[in-house]
Amino acid sequence: MKKETLIIFAAFAVTATIAAEQASAQSKNFKLGQWTEIHNSVIKELNRSYVDSLPLDRIMRAGIDAMLDELDPYTVYIPEEENENLQMMLSNTYGGIGAIIYKKKDGNVIINEPYYGSPAQKNGLSCGDEILEIDSLPTKGLETKESSDKMKGKPGTTVVFKVRKVRSGDTLDIPVVRERIHFPDIEYSGMLDDSTGYILQSGFTENVSSELRQKFLDLKKQGMKRLVLDLRGNGGGLMSEAINIVSLFVPKGSLVVSSKGNTEDSKMEYRTTQEPIDTEIPIIVLIDSASASSSEIVAGALQDMDRATIMGVRSYGKGLVQSIRPLAYNGQMKVTTAKYYTPSGRCVQAIDYAHRNDDGSVGHIPDSLTREFRTASGRIVRDGGGITPDVAIASPSYSRLVYALVLGGVLDQYVIDFARRHESIAPADEFHFSDEDFEDFIRFAKTQEFDYRSSAKTLYDQMKKELEKDGLAEAMSEELEAMGKALEMDKEKFIRLKKNEIIPFIEEEIATRYWFQEAGVKIRLRYDRQLRKALEEPMIAI
């Protein structure tokens, strides 16, 4: 009797579970049908009754975007006309001439930075050249994006520029055949000293793992005894490439990452399928608050396997998997389908979006809200969002003035002016911006309009406005006047005060214009205090 009772109870439990799942599915489907019907009836009634003609394309797109915004920042709709943006996202490529442009309002297009080996560079376009027309269309009346869009196009097609050359002043018609432009994910590799190799990786698009493999082998031939893999600022990309990169340094068959979603096909384990090229060499992985997604897969897996020492600051905290799904009329949707987990079981995704800094990265989360996990050797690591480095090294900080000079375009304009007046400079390893050059920059910057106030002065101005709103400014006029005078600093004096902060940015921008992107990285490494600190720190025992 007992056995029969248990069998009946088990059968009832299974039947109840199935019934509950069916009821849930029916409820979900009913809600979907209900809201689809409501949505369609709203649109039909607007189309019939609204006082003006209905801008259907605009309001329907706005509705889709608003709906997806309610889910997460990464689930997005991509209509057919924006497929080029998707291609850029997946492969870091586009059809065009390979140059960054600069444009003042009501001015012509200026070539700011041509890429090495690009159609722009091969056809003699250089920093400071002025584009007067694109296919006979004057650029003066165009917005920057319009100009850029007209320069892009299908590889193999020709675009004709009317160009005023930067130094000779000659006006020439220059036809350029567009090519498929690829931004390299490996921006730089080289030896930092006799034994330390360095690879700067900025993305995770197709075949980056093969490129990194070759760069690694090249550095080994040059005597590399330890590797620095720099993932700072790397926002991620293809999960498959992250897995392939980890596979270079760990035994075949190692678990790299797992994913879990609402469907069975989203619950997966991803292991290495290739033989490694080196399981012994010490590795430092540098991360910061902009290291996200695939960068966190690499850093988290190597940390959990005690295969690398992670240094820097806590990473961004994007532990979501996106998949591309086809939609009607050749549209596509990048939709979040799962969360991913490191080998120890940590979820990289931040606990919630409310715990994020202004830049979107993970904010402070108390240990009481996180859980402990263990690496292969038993070291404690925590979840809660992002990868916490084994060795914390603060990222550099810059004054408000430097941000104003960079974001306000003052540095770009100065470098273009510099290029007009200097036909060549020394190679990047030897180039330095002299005291005389800095005086030249000061003279230029003084003629430019930009907000050069210090952070303290901006806070003072904000506080003064609030006191005026509250009717307290008059009563505190003497104190306010004294504080205002103390914080007041003229443009030239402030620029001189921040000389050591400004010069590295100028040197990098100038070197890039003459010797291309790799030269800019070399200059950046010259002043990289976070990297220097990382090289001095002890690594974890492997």
β-strands 196-201, 226-230: how paired?
A: parallel
Single out the catalytic residue among 293, 295, 315, 361: 293
Q: 306 and 375 in contact (C-beta within 8 Å)?
A: yes
Of 129, 112, 132, the C-alpha closest to 167 is 129
Please give the Cα distance from 203 to 185 (Å, whole number): 5
Single out the catalytic residue among 185, 230, 288, 304: 304
Please give the Cα distance from 384 to 363 (Å, whole number): 10
Beta-bridged to residue 115, according to DSSP, are none
DSSP assignment of 38-98 equals HHHHHHHHHHHH-SS---HHHHHHHHHHHHHHTT-TT-EEE-GGGHHHHHHHHHSEEEE--
Single out the catalytic residue among 215, 318, 498, 522: 318
Beta-bridged to residue 347, according to DSSP, are 341
DSSP assignment of 171-221 equals EEEEEEE-EEEE--SEEEEEESSSSEEEEEE--B-TTHHHHHHHHHHHHHH
Q: 258 and 313 in contact (C-beta within 8 Å)?
A: no
Q: 208 and 262 in contact (C-beta within 8 Å)?
A: no
Please give the Cα distance from 124 to 401 (Å, whole number): 35
Please give the Cα distance from 528 to 286 (Å, whole number): 12
Q: In what helix (H) or strand (E) does residue 296 lie, and over which residues does it extend?
A: helix 294-304
Would residue 304 show up in a list of annotated catalytic residues for this protein? yes
* Distance between first and last Cα of the chain: 60
Helix (H, G, I), strand (E, B) or coil at 135: coil
State both tokens at 110: 């200026």
DSSP assignment of 317-337 equals ---EEEEEEE-GGG-EEEEEE
Would residue 293 show up in a list of annotated catalytic residues for this protein? yes
Sign of CA dihedral 482, 486, 491, 492: positive
Would residue 168 show up in a list of annotated catalytic residues for this protein? no
Cα angle value 489/495/497 (rounded, 5°): 80
Active site residues: 293, 304, 318
